[in-house]
Every structure is written in structure tokens, then in C-alpha cells.
Structure 1
Amino acid sequence: MMNESMTITLPVGALEGTAAILSTWLVGEGDKVRKGDPILELETDKVSMEVCAESDGSIERILAASGDNVDEKTILGYLNCAAQPILEKSPSLVFDDSSQNESVANFSKCDAASDGSKCHLIGPAVRKLLRKYDLDVTSINGTGKGGRVTRDDILAFIDTQAGKGQSNSNASMPVEKSHGLKSKLVSHSSMRKKIAKHMVDSLLHTSPHVTSVFEMDMGRIIEHRKMCKMGFEEAGAKLTFTAYFLAASAKAMQKVPVVNSRFHDDCLEIFEDINIGVGTALGDDGLIVPVVKQVQEKNLFDIASALQQQTDKARQGKLAAADMRDGTFTISNHGVSGSLFATPIIINQPQVAILGIGKLEKRAVVEEVNGEDIIVIRPKCYVSLSIDHRALDAYQTNLFLSHFVEAIENWGK
């Protein structure tokens, strides 16, 4: 065992040179940790991440506080490597217990006056709710294995308090208002603040947005998916319509390469690799864009597999900065929530275009059969491309959409 203290800093390359906000410490001064145990959480504009202990020991001193801006050069605290590690099994092991709606990731810090009976292993979803509603885990009865507090326990506790008329300090903040209307203030997370800034900068300060909308028949890929879905699942990949959209986007960009580019004042930088980000909603918490890289080199199965891995990590809060790096194009599948079309979908800077896919629905359309017009029912959706008009014009926009729609409507031909 090393007989020295070591600084606690962010891993090299974790933030790729950008700053982050220290969300919360998961341990306190004097707490013993093992190498690999999560000790704090960070929040950037698009991802939350855990920082783990680099050695066995105890937390000697905490320097950085929640809410501080930090980077890879910031000394967050000190770890006493001479301290004896915890002898029991490390609580940093992650496992799923779907029956209890929790993924056990690490332990909560308990009040020193507590008898320790409430110091249960809790997952990220539980920690998030505790922070959001400013709750003390020791006041909540745990129904999970070994008495652990689960997500359902937290929600039940909140419902009980609401029924008693007890408001929460985070969810509702009293404020003097001149309008006389009943309301509550919900504090913005740092992610929401940065999303807001990113959207305003993109739309108002950077790119003049223009949107073109086409209609698309989904019949061919619906039939193809029916035939292939089970085989994909048996091979370990979930086949979604979004996988087809990535593949069709790559085909269209190979015919209209300027869509896969970045605008500079003196040139247009056209990328060889097609790295497509997929907008992934996190409910009220915001939107993140995990990236599937080198789509042009992948077949449909490879795309579906990579897409599933990225979206699963996004929803589990396990995305790293590298998972959202180097995107050259973005797809917003907003139709999954019922939207027919959205315009403009704000461009994910510094890209020059973003594709929007609307709700799939059956529509009555007129088709010519044997020289006669007949009405048939077809599965249709709207597809849009919002572009940076500095880089692209209507010609390239509509040409891209034409090739995209053709790839979807003629899939497998």
C-alpha cells in the first residue's frame, strides 16, 4: 500500500478539453473507497458521468464543491492511499434487478447520527430523484433486496408527501410575483441551461435555417423489418426504423456529399466519414445526441447494433464524451412522440443539416393503376431537412431528400 496522498482529478481526455460542472460528491471526507468506486458525478451540456477512485484509500480532503466549473487540470480533492480499504465486497459493481427497478451502482452517504440501517446501495435513478427533490434517504423505507431504497420507494414517498400537502423545496420555490397567478419555479439543470444556449446560438447567431419537407412511403421497410426483425433479435440487435434512416442517410450523402460538411468562412469542409448523431430524449431532463460513427462502412445489422448500444447507454446515463464526439449529421425522429413534422429542427452545430422524421400513419392516396386513378391506403410520413443556408441551397437540400426517400421507398430492390 502506498504511503502517500494523491490528487483527485478528472481522467485525461474525459472532457476532451471542455469544462464541466461538478454535480455532486458521492462520498464524504473520511469515507473509504476501493479503486474503481464512483466518488463524484459531473455534468456537461450533453452527458452526466461518474468519476471513479484511481486507488484504494480514503477521501482525505474535498476541495471542489457542487456547482463548481471544473476541467482536467482542476484538483478536486485528495485521496489518502495509506488508508486501509473497505474489506467487504466493493459496492461499485453494477447489476440490474428489474424486479426492483434499480441498477445498483454505489452507496449513499448517511448522516453521522444515523445507525447506518439506511445506508443501502442505491442506483443512479434513485440518486437523481434524491437530489431533485432534496430528500434524505434515511427517512424512506426501502422495499428492495436487503432493505435498499428503490426508485418506486422514492416515487411512493413523494406521492405520500404530496397527499399530506407537504411541498418540496426543489420542485416548488416560493417567489414574490406581481401577476397574482398560482405557479411554481423549477430550477434549470446545467444541461438544460446549456441546451438553451446551444439552441439560441445555432438559430439566431450562427445559421440561417431553411427547411424542406417531403412525403415518404414506408411500406417497403415495414415489410423488410417484419421479415428481418426476429433474426436480428436472435443475433443480439434490435431492428428499429431509425436504423433504416441512418442507412438511407448515408446512401443519400454519398450522392450529395456537401450535406455531410462543416461551414467555414473561407471554405466548406466535406467529411469522408459519415458519423450520424441520433437525438435521444431523456424526458424532462433534456436531449442528448449519441453518435454512430462511420455509418457508410456498416451494413444494416451493424448499424442497428451500434445504434442500440448508444441509445441504451444514453437512457442509462452511461454515455461518455467520446460517444457524442465527431458527429457530422443528426437525425431527429420526432415522430415517435406523435409529431407529424417540426420546422425548423434546430441544427446541431457545427453541422450544416439535420433530418427530421415525422409520425408514421396510414393515409389515403391516389395511385394510377392500369391507366385509372384509384384511392389506396399507404403507410406514410413526412421527412424534413433543415439546412444552414450559408452552406446549402434548395438544390442540394431537395436532391438529398429525393435520394433519401428513394432509398427508403425502394428498400431491397
Structure 2
Amino acid sequence: MATDIIMPQMGESIAEGTITKWLKKVGDPVKRDEPIFEISTDKVDAEIPSPVAGTLVEIKVAEGATVPINTVVGSIGEAGEAVAPGAAAEKPAPAAVPPTPAAAPAPPPAAPAPAPASPPTPAAATAAAPAPEPSRGQPAGPTPPAPAAPKTAPPVAAAAPGPAPAAPAAAPPETSGARVESIEERIRQRSSPLVRKIAQEQGVDIRALEGSGIYNRVTKNDILSFLENRKASGAPAAGSAATAATATAPSAPPASAAAPAHEAASRPALAVSDRDEVVAMTKIRRITAENMILSKRTSAHVTTVFQVDYTNIAKLRERSKDAFLEKNGVKLTYLPFIFRAAIQSLKEFPQVNASIDGESIVYHKDIHLGMAVALDWGLIVPVIRNADEKSILGLARSAQDLAERARTKRLKPEEIQGGTFTVTNPGVFGSLFGTPIIPQPQVAILGVGTIEKRPVVVTDEKGNDALGIRTVGFLALSFDHRLIDGADADRFLSAVKKTLE
């Protein structure tokens, strides 16, 4: 009897996952706990092991498809079990969705008759026209035009005063009846369950928003940004504007009210030639981009830079690194020393190990140290929990373990959450220093520049100056000026420098 392979839940807040790669083909033998496919979620990328030993007899969800947790994505039969023809899943339908909206407005004559008898007859006819065409193969007729609305609305507005289809077109899906949505419908609506929940609670029609995700899906940061801008400008919710338009006769006012939202969210058009290659962002790249934009929009970033003399640590490492590796199985690098110095300074300056929650400051009693790890496919920040309780050896072991499991996609979701302060090390690539972006909701991040020998002016006990060869490097602290004053940031980094020297 075949055993179902399900999309696992990789954390409490994870509602769906994207299959990025099948590591086995239909008909391949698999061992128990052998990785069979890779997934990407909002929190972590991971390899999913086989629940049983046997033969992969069916793939139900193709690479690139996003499905809710607990969805059956394939099945494993007994070893040597015959494979039925066509057991491999086809490529996900969403790839064919983008062209559909472009062609949707074309069929005009057949649909004017069933259009609802409301004042904005042209708009309603446009919204209803596509419905008869896709009704055979598409689960929801009115839904396909939604993805194109944000893209087509601005040009139409410039040409004629009839861009109103954007608002009415979004309304039919809301009244389409209570039924279960298919995966294709969710993708066309460009939202995840979490985004739809936020939209429902805030009264926002997500079909009226321009999404930055793949297939123009509205991401969490898209809707949070919209809500933030709406709060600042006092503009009405997109959903409530559409509702008001349906309830009252005139539809022109909602269209004009919705237009500013589209204009504010619009981006300059990009000219793409046949010499350019267009590739969809990976999930980890999209999440990184969203988080970086969110942080720059949230925090008042300022960076201060100090030069540190690592000569004493360099001598200590040179004396002890071989014995340290032989005894503990871990390399003795500069990072554990930097971690330790930062931890001591965080205890002295609690405002650096804090977060801002609205108009309140949250001071974290525990120190959970994030360490940025560069991967071939992106960047991830696993967290050393209770780092203040660890010695140099403990920090070295934790750093090596987390880095190895990050590169082999074996991190757990909880291991990349809850950081209170982060250290990133661009110096490993030769960078003198950088100005790193603060990971939210933290208020500071420490960047480590390359450590190398340089000529430095040194002063002896008698006050005489001379040139000496010293092992030095730069430390750069990016901090949130909403909470941390420049003087406090400099005192914090000065304390780190003093400990290291």
C-alpha cells in the first residue's frame, strides 16, 4: 500500500511551502530518511526526508508549486512496485496564468447581455466578459483578470476615464459563494493564507494591491506597507472603497480613490530587450529583498566604524589553534572572540540588545546572537541561543554547527528566529568594512571587516612613536537611531574594541 508524502509544517507560523526541487524521480528507489525533495518557506529552506523505504510511485505536485501544509505531494509504494504511466506531476498551471489576463479583455461581444444592471455598465461588462471563456477549464471565471489589474489600470487611466474595471472586477470573487479555493486560484489572487487573514482583518481587498512576489502575489510586506501608508495618509481601505462603490450608485469616486494607491505603489517601467535574461527570484531571494526593504523603511540606520588591533588575539590563535582543533574538533577563528566581546558589551549597554514595539522599548534579558551565513543561493541568519552562557569553545562549536547545517539545509525554523543582536562577517571575502542592514525587530548589527597585517603607529611605554606591523581590522556597527544615540553606539563599540585588544 502506498504511503503519502505530505508537505510538512516547518514552524507554527508556516502555512504553506514551495517545492523547489525533487531529488528523486518517479520509479527511483528511496531509503527511509533519505532526502526526496527540497522545500522553501517564509522561514527556512530544507530537505524533506522520506517517511518510509520503497519506490517513489507518484509525484502530485511539481517543482515551483506552492501548496498548503499537509497537502499530499507524492506517494511511495513498496520496493519494486510498478509505476503507473503519467505518475509524474506536470509543471504547475500558474506559469500559464500571466498570459491569460492579457488576452481576457479581448472577447467583448458575447458578454454584454449578462452584465449586471448598474450605472457603470462599461466597467461591469468588462469585468463580466472574460467569465464565459475560462469557465470550462478555470475554477473561477472572474478571478483571472485580477492579477492584471495592477499592471493594466495605470495605462488605461492615462488613456480614458474608464479605468473603473479595477475596482468592480475585484468585487465578483468576493460574492462567488462559499467554496474551497484551488491552488491555482490562490496563486492568481496573489496571496498566502497569512496575507489573506491580514487583509480580512483590516478590510483590504488584496486584488486592488500591486504585489511584488512571484506571479505578482501580494506578500506580507506588500500589505503591511499598504496599511502603513494608509495610516499615514488617512486614505480609506481598498476593500472598503470597493464595497462602498458596490453599495452606492456612483462608481467613479471609488476609481479615483483607488487610483492614488496604485500610483503610489507603481514602479518605473523596465525596458527588457532580447539581449536580457529574465529569471524569477528564488524564494529565499524574495524573502531577503522584502526584509531588507522593510528594515530600511522601519529603522533610522546609522553606522559607526572603529579600527581594532587584533595582534594579541592573533598571537594567541597562532599558539593554540592546532591543539584547540585536535582536542575539540573545532577551528579557533577570530569570530568566537568577537562574539564574546560583543556579548560582554551588550550586558553593559542593554539598549543595544533591545527592540522597539510601537511606542514601547523591549529590553531583552537573554542574548540570542544571530550570525549571518552566506550560502550559494542566498543569505540566512541562524541564531546562537543564550549566547551569554557560552564560553569561547561553546561559541565556536555553535557557530560551526549552525553554519554547516545552514549550508546543508538542515536548520529548523526555530533556529533562525528570535535573535536579539546579529554579527555579520563580510571581511571573509576581503571587505574592509560594510554598513549592514539591521534585521528586524533588532536595533543593531555588527559588521566584521577583513583582518590583516598593516603598518600602524604604535607608542611605547615612554611615549615614543614608531611604525609597527600589527594585525588589525575594522568593526562597523549599524544601529537604529530611534533608540540608540550616537554616543551610546560609540561607547558600545569602544567597549568591544577594548575587550578584543
Q: TM-score scaled to structure 2, two decimals?
A: 0.57
Whole-angstrom distance in 2 between the partners of 1:318 and 1:302? 20
What is the distance in 2 between the residues matched to 1:10 and 1:361? 47
In terms of fraction of residues, the more strand-rich structure is 1
Establish whether residue 215 from structure 1 lines up as the match of residue 314 from structure 2: no
For 1:185-224, list aligned pairs within 5 A.
Answer: 185-203=278-296, 205-224=297-316
Match of 1:257 in 2: 350
Q: CA deviation at 1:195?
A: 1.2
Per the TM alignment, residue 48 of structure 1 is displaced from its structure 2 partner at its CA by: 2.6
Query: SS where residue 383 of structure 1 aligns?
Result: strand
Larger Cα-atom Rg: 2
Corresponding residue number in structure 2 for 1:267: 360
- What is the RMSD computed on CA atoms of the aligned residues? 2.8
Q: Give 1 or 2: higher helix fraction.
A: 2
Q: Equivalent residue of 1:21, what SS?
A: strand
Give the Cα separation in 2 of the matches to 1:270 and 1:73.
37
1:167 paired residue number:
none
Give the corresponding residue for 1:311.
403
Unaligned runs of 5+ in 1: 88-108, 113-176
Please give the residue correspondences for 1:57-206 in structure 2 after superposition, counting only pairs within 5 Å: 57-59=54-56, 61-79=58-76, 83-85=77-79, 182-203=275-296, 205-206=297-298
In the alignment, which residue of structure 2 is the partner of 1:373?
465
Give the CA deviation at 1:198: 1.3
CA distance in 2, matches of 1:227, 1:182: 55
Q: Deviations over 1:130-166 (max 9, x none)?
A: xxxxxxxxxxxxxxxxxxxxxxxxxxxxxxxxxxxxx
Deviation at 1:296, TM superposition (A): 0.8
Superposed CA offset, 1:226-275 (max 9, x none): 12211210121111111111111111111112211221013222222212
SS in 1 for 2:72: coil
- Paired with 1:60 and 1:190, the residues of 2 have a C-alpha distance of 28
- Match of residue 349, structure 1, among 426, 440, 445: 440
Measure, in 2, the Cα distance between the counterparts of 1:26 and 1:351: 36
Secondary structure of residue in 1 paired with 2:302: strand
1:216 Cα deviation (Å)? Answer: 0.8
**What does residue 17 of structure 1 align with?**
13
Q: 1:179 to 1:221 in 2, by over 3 A?
A: same
Partner of 1:295: 387
Change over 3 Å in CA distance of 1:234–1:86 after alignment to 2: farther
Q: Is the 8 A contact 1:354 1:386 kept in 2?
A: yes
Separation in 1 of the partners of 2:471 and 2:465? Answer: 18
Q: 2:480 aligns with which of 388, 391, 396?
A: 388
Please state how far the C-alpha of 1:57 moved relative to its aligned partner.
Answer: 4.8
Alignment partners' CA distance in 1, 2:334 and 2:62: 44
Q: Equivalents in 1 of 2:291, 2:357: separation in Å?
A: 18
- The alpha-carbon deviation at position 402 of structure 1 amounts to 1.4
1:290 deviates by 2.0
Does the 8 A contact of 1:355 with 1:385 survive in 2? yes
Q: Which amino acid aligns with 1:197?
A: E
SS of structure 1 residue aligned to 2:52: coil
After TM superposition, the structure 1 stretch with the greater mean CA deviation from structure 2, 188-197 or 43-52, is 43-52
Q: Give the Å deviation of 1:292.
A: 1.8
Aligned residue in 1 for 2:204: none
SS in 2 for 1:305: helix
Instruction: Tell me: CA distance 1:399–1:182, structure 2 relative to 1, closer, same or farther (3 Å).
Output: same
In the alignment, does 2:450 pair up with 1:359? yes
Aligned equivalents of 1:184 and 1:338: distance in 2?
30
Match of 1:237 in 2: 330
Q: Which has the higher contact order (CA 8 A, sep 6+)?
A: 1
Once residues 71 and 219 of structure 1 are traced to their aligned partners in structure 2, the CA distance between those partners, rounded to angstroms, is: 53
Distance (whole Å) between structure 1 residues aligned to residue 338 and residue 394 of structure 2: 13
Q: Partner of 2:372 in structure 1?
A: 279
Aligned residue pairs, count: 313
| Code of the aligned partner of 2:293 | V
* Alpha-carbon distance in structure 1 between the residues aligned to 2:373 and 2:272: 36
Instruction: Judge conservation of contact 2:55–2:80 (CA < 8 Å) in 1.
Output: no
Cα separation, 2, equivalents of 1:178 and 1:388:
36
Where 2:466 maps in the other structure, the secondary structure is: strand
Q: Which amino acid aligns with 2:302?
A: V
Q: CA deviation at 1:39?
A: 2.4
Letter in 2 for 1:303: L
Paired residue type of 2:369: I
Change (3 A) 1:364 1:34: closer
Tell me how far apart the structure 1 counterparts of residues 386 and 473 of structure 2 sit (CA, whole Å). 27
- Give the CA deviation at 1:32: 5.1
In 2, are the aligned partners of 1:46 and 1:289 still within 8 Å (CA)?
no
Mapped partners of 1:86, 1:307: distance in 2: 43
State the AA in 2 paired with 1:397. A
Contact kept? 2:7, 2:17, Cα under 8 Å: no
In structure 2, C-alpha distance between the alignment counterparts of 1:379 and 1:362, rounded to whole Å: 4
